[in-house]
Structure 1
Amino acid sequence: MTGRAVFVTGATGTVGEFVVQRLLERGEPVLAAVRGTDFPSLPHGAQARPFDFDSSPVALEAALDGADRLFLMRPPPIADVQRYLFPLIDAAMRRGIRQIVFLSLQGVQFNRQTPHHAVEAYLRQVDAPFTLLRPNFFMQNLSTAYADRIRNSNEIFVPAGRSYTASVDARDVGRVAAEVFTADGHLRRAYTLSGEHALSYERVARMMSRVLGRPIRYSRPTETEYLDDLALHGADEQYLAAQKMIYRVVRYNLSAVPNRTIRRLTGAPATSLAEFVDDYRDVWRVER
């Protein structure tokens, strides 16, 4: 049967954890998709639901039992969305899920090569009750993927050149997701989510220097230097290709356009990078 919970894929990930938190704050029941039986710590009130994208149609439908809405995201290791994500969409349609909020990608409508574009196209093809969230670069990249280099070498090492980016805080994306799940008027709509200010990485480095009390530099590596460094640390060809595409988009300043969509949807301004760096400062703290 169909219930009234939100089934959240990627529930412990960069965005999913904040989707779960914000839904719970609104009193919404949450089924948090987790792999295996070793359940991670979840916020009080969230119900863990064993789940694997690589499951049979029957198992996918069973995983959705009790849910009437789905938060769908593509795990980074998954490139073959036709094999791993389309079947979940099909299962959701068979169960009568009334809304699928898909975590897509800023600018995806102009880039047919991304897996996100294929998912968006499929949602339209099957006439799904979708809402598309298209976030810009996450500020959390600084506190996750780039954190070790910042902490250990005082360096932001990304091939963005002199471009600008209107980064978005994943916490704000969680707020938006909770809003579109619980308010009317968001079906078959797409929202590009950016910060309200576009900054260069030189500016980001200066901002981090002030907050952390030590000099952080933006080294401006070339694309080749960046990709070679990733390969040296074990990145596979698929990941390298994705990173190459992403930072070419950045260097063309396609991620440089700020907007107020988060403010318009939630009633509160998007988190500024200065606020984010201050909130996450302990991530880059050097142990003495």
Structure 2
Amino acid sequence: MGSILVTGASGTVGRAVAAALASTGESVISAVRNPAGSEFALDPPAGTPRAFDFSDPTGWAGAFAGVDRLFLLRPPAIANVADTLIPVIDTALAHGIRQIVFLSLQGVQFNPATPHHAVEKHLRRRRAPYTFLRPNFFMQNLSTVYRDGIRERGEIYLPAARARTAFVDARDIGRVAARVFTEPGHLGSAYTLSGEQSLDYYQVADILSEVLGWRIVYARPSVDDYLARLAEQGAEADFIAVQKMIYRVVRLGVSACPNRVIRRLSGDPATTFRQFATDHRDVWS
């Protein structure tokens, strides 16, 4: 049996997937843009590092040497999947890949405007040996993308109104990915991964307040105010557009429904937000 190539291995989800796979004894190849870089050297993901760049097709064939399975995710900076992820898929299939686990998006089947939809469509069209993981919002968004607002201003500033979200911990995605790679019966399947709790951002702020020991508030801005703040902070237009779309979906309640798919696939319950906040409390200190 060959190795598993994990793209985005230095990021939040890829790192969790590489770690979970390595813990099962699988041979893991962690794909990173620059294995010799200082940032990578300080905090390497699990597995053997291998240079891989979605924007450099000359290195794709070599990346699949000895690989028979692929964990594929779309880096946030990549909007044009037609010139990146889709030809990577074709390269993988040409090298005889026997499973592609694609990190997609909750509700993607109803949202053809997303790049994830195009990737899923291509995998189906190619009759690829796919498994789709469609996660809800990551808890890690609050400890990374939105961390500074919480840490520096004591506020969660997002236009979600009173809508609820069944947040998912990236570590749980890693555990699920490890199972679908190492157990039979998952080819051609699509799994929506949500937490087992559904929380609004007032509740999220209350839990953070209790765990951190200081007051966090949910500011509940309007969409226009939120987008204006992003622009003032220098956010790219593509990022602003994605944020507008994301929180429209949230306000429609698409992300509100909890489920037990993580429990069913991994054998353990989904991580609660309180446990996540406790485990990561230092990032907001």
> Structure 1-normalised TM-score?
0.96
The equivalent residue for 1:11 is 9
Equivalence map 1:273-288=2 (5 Å): 273-285=273-285
The equivalent residue for 2:84 is 84
The equivalent residue for 2:137 is 137
- What SS does the aligned partner of 1:68 have? strand
- What SS does the aligned partner of 1:15 have? helix
CA distance in 2, matches of 1:54, 1:280: 33
User: 2:63 is aligned with what amino acid?
Assistant: A
User: 1:140 is aligned with what amino acid?
Assistant: Q
CA shift at 1:18, angstroms? 0.5
CA distance in 2, matches of 1:43, 1:159: 34
The equivalent residue for 2:44 is 42
- What SS does the aligned partner of 1:191 have? strand
| Percent sequence identity over aligned pairs | 57
User: 2:256 is aligned with what amino acid?
Assistant: A
Give unpaired runs (5+ residues) of structure 1.
none
The equivalent residue for 1:255 is 255
User: 1:225 is aligned with what amino acid?
Assistant: D
- What SS does the aligned partner of 1:131 have? strand
CA distance in 2, matches of 1:4, 1:163: 44
Residues 109-156 of structure 1: CA deviation (Å, up to 9, x unaligned)? 000000000000000011110000000000001100111110111101
CA contact (8 A) 2:8 2:31 kept: yes
The equivalent residue for 1:222 is 222
Matched, 1:128 2:128: yes
CA contact (8 A) 2:9 2:45 kept: no
Paired residue total? 281
CA shift at 1:173, angstroms? 0.3
- What SS does the aligned partner of 1:181 have? helix
The equivalent residue for 2:75 is 75
CA distance in 1, matches of 2:183, 2:229: 45
CA distance in 2, matches of 1:54, 1:151: 34
CA distance in 2, matches of 1:245, 1:203: 23
Q: Which of structure 1's runs of 4+ aligned residues deviate more than 3 A?
A: none
User: 1:168 is aligned with what amino acid?
Assistant: V
Give unpaired runs (5+ residues) of structure 2.
none
CA distance in 2, matches of 1:63, 1:116: 22
- What SS does the aligned partner of 2:72 have? strand
CA shift at 1:232, angstroms? 1.1
> Structure 2-normalised TM-score?
0.97
CA contact (8 A) 2:5 2:71 kept: yes
Residues 14-52 of structure 1: CA deviation (Å, up to 9, x unaligned)? 1000101000100001111111353413246x1111111
User: 1:235 is aligned with what amino acid?
Assistant: A
CA shift at 1:195, angstroms? 0.3
CA distance in 1, matches of 2:160, 2:45: 36
Residues 52-106 of structure 1: CA deviation (Å, up to 9, x unaligned)? 11223x5312111011000000011111101011111001110110000000000
Equivalence map 1:110-189=2 (5 Å): 110-189=110-189
CA distance in 1, matches of 2:86, 2:250: 29
Residues 240-275 of structure 1: CA deviation (Å, up to 9, x unaligned)? 111100000000111000000000001100000011
CA distance in 2, matches of 1:81, 1:17: 22
User: 1:42 is aligned with what amino acid?
Assistant: P
59-68 or 272-281, which moves further after superposition?
59-68
